[in-house]
Amino acid sequence: MSELSVHHVVHSPLNLRGLGSNFKRTEVPLLRQGLVFIAYKRRKKPEEKSTTKNFLLPRHTRQKYIVTFSGNCWFVAGAATLATSDKALFERVVPPDQDFDASYAGAFRFNFWWYGTWTEVIVDDYLPTDGRELIYCHNRERPDELWPPLLEKAYAKLRGCYEALDGGQMKDAMVDLTGGISEVISLEDKDKVNYELYDLLVCSFSMKSMLGASISRPVGSTESEVGMSNGLYMGHAYSITGFQQLKTSKSVVRLMRLRNPWGRGEWNGAWSDNSREMQSLPSDIRAEMDARSVDEGEFWMSFEDFVKNFQEIQLCHLQIDAMVEELRDNQNKQNWNVMVYHDEWIRGVTAGGRCNPPNERLYWSNPQFYLNLSKTDTVLSSRGECTIIISLMKKETDKNALIAIGFDVYRLRKPDLRPLNERRAPENTLDMAKTSGNYECYREVTKRMVLPPGHYVIIPSTYLPNEEAKFMLRIFTEKFANSSVMEEKPDMSPILSPKDFVYDLFNKIAGSDSMLDAAELQTFLSAVSEEGGQHVA
């Protein structure tokens, strides 16, 4: 049931050029039921839409005007962030050696990091339109650039249909586009937001981490996005594309640049394009900040206004060092030891839920993973400690989207006495070492921990028992660490259920012939009623 991933498989690209223009078209359904929305939203091939077609335009146009009219702003925001990131990262997902030139084959290929493996997805070039225009993701400024809608189609194919992209987390899109590790910073409690958060975001951004932010949708709203008087939208995700600190006569202003994936709709408060604050800056500073008085979807705002209006920051760390404060300013990047496991929660078998009454006995049936931290950090700490980052990723399906997940970490006294169960846990464990925090309905839950050397067990679980889902567990350590699945081992004194007690008592009295005579039967029944009453009850 459990499997240790040793290698990440990279699929070899299909030789599309050898196909000519005879690639067999495979439909990507709009809805999970395979229905079209309405008749006029039919697909058209790019050559039916325009006489000029380009797969990929020069790099400077990639980040402009990528828009969407469905509920997939989370994916479009992630794709737009990728387009403005490192060229090698972008071209790993969107191979540039394909176009509408003489080698056109009627199909295009894209690569996604899908639960631990880089997976190639091939799609034809039929795209959803309203009869005249593309209806989903596209470059509004240059509609002849077609990698955005084709990438979106490939991602919809990977997830099953376009409807599967309706609603999601921007960090999940960024992980699927990079293979990075996600992190969520909540801004719900404004009074607890650390003043140093801005510096953390700047350092993560400088280390190529991809950043985004979202505003929660109002409770009870029937609209996917709700406009606000300040120009922002609730129920919407934005890319974070830059930082700037300006010295004024009174203080230093900490600014953030954000981008609406629609390519329109901007913040209209302080430091927006036409604000008094922005217009008071010298023209050369405004040019350096690329602040223009046009509605292009990109805008500046102060960090303080950002915290007031947004509820969540979503990050995808391409270099895991960005999650570790000690390494953010260190140019000598750390090589991490990575362990990857694939497992699942199965109803009635390994889906024990969290360790809370009345289901605490079931908790120990969850999958358990042993970790031996024997070597202390030399880069991250000089205090004889071990840095560990744990990522738990639920493999999403239509049925488990609302399943909340989390994990606990216990330190073991007796590492050979495993896996933990109701009897062994008090004998074998110290207090809980760490926890992932509140259970969340996110696809991925990540936690950075600093632990003393020792033997540990990691127990991932769902919030409620008997909730089924497959998952991937990633463990990052500075030094090599031994790990394994905590499989059941023979135990000389197992916990006996009523059935086990009666069975063992029968074998003891019956002997090798497995039969009871009259005297043995009387002895057996007496023992069950008198000595075994506590078990039977």
CA distance 459 to 354: 9
State the pLDDT at residue 494.
41
For residue 287, give the H/E element and its range: helix 283-288
DSSP 291-336: --SS-SSEEEEEHHHHHHH-SEEEEEESSGGGGSGGGTT-SSPPPP
Q: How confident is the model at residue 53 (pLDDT cuts 50, 70, 90)?
A: low
CB contact at 8 A, 300 and 285: no
* Helix (H/G/I), strand (E/B), else coil: 6: coil
Q: Please pick, among 260, 366, 400, 428, the residue that the annotation labels catalytic.
A: 260
CA distance 170 to 3: 28
Q: Which domains does the chain have, with CATH numbers?
A: 16-177 (no CATH), 181-317 (3.90.70.10), 337-485 (2.60.120.380), 500-535 (no CATH)
CA distance 11 to 499: 50
Helix axes 498-510, 518-526, angle to 10 degrees: 150
- C-alpha distances (whole Å) from 14 to each of 149, 159, 205 are 20, 20, 35
Q: How confident is the model at residue 42 (pLDDT cuts 50, 70, 90)?
A: very low
Q: Please pick, among 54, 72, 73, 428, the residue that the annotation labels catalytic.
A: 73
Is pLDDT at 2 greater than 70 in this prediction? no
State the pLDDT at residue 536.
37
Q: What is the mean pLDDT of the chain?
A: 79
Q: What percent of the chain has pLDDT over 90?
A: 33
Phi, psi of 349 (to 5 degrees): -125, -65
**Mean pLDDT over residues 179-185, rounded?**
87
Q: Supply the DSSP symbol for 262.
A: T
Residue 161 annotated in active site: no
Residue 386 annotated in active site: no
Q: How confident is the model at residue 410 (pLDDT cuts 50, 70, 90)?
A: very high
Lowest mean pLDDT among 56-70, 386-400, 471-485: 56-70
Q: Which of 360, 362, 359, 339 lies closest to 349, judged by CA?
A: 362
DSSP 12-24: PPP-GGGGTT-PP
Residue of 154 and 513 predicted with greater confidence: 154
Which residues face 459 on adjacent strands? Answer: 408
Q: Please pick, among 138, 236, 317, 455, the residue that the annotation labels catalytic.
A: 236
* Tokens coding 207: 């280390």
Tell me the residue type at 85.
S
Residues 6+ apart with CB under 8 A from 204: 211, 315, 317, 322, 328
Is pLDDT at 140 greater than 90 in this prediction? no
CB contact at 8 A, 112 and 121: yes
State the pLDDT at residue 229.
95
Lowest mean pLDDT among 160-164, 409-413, 415-419, 514-518: 514-518
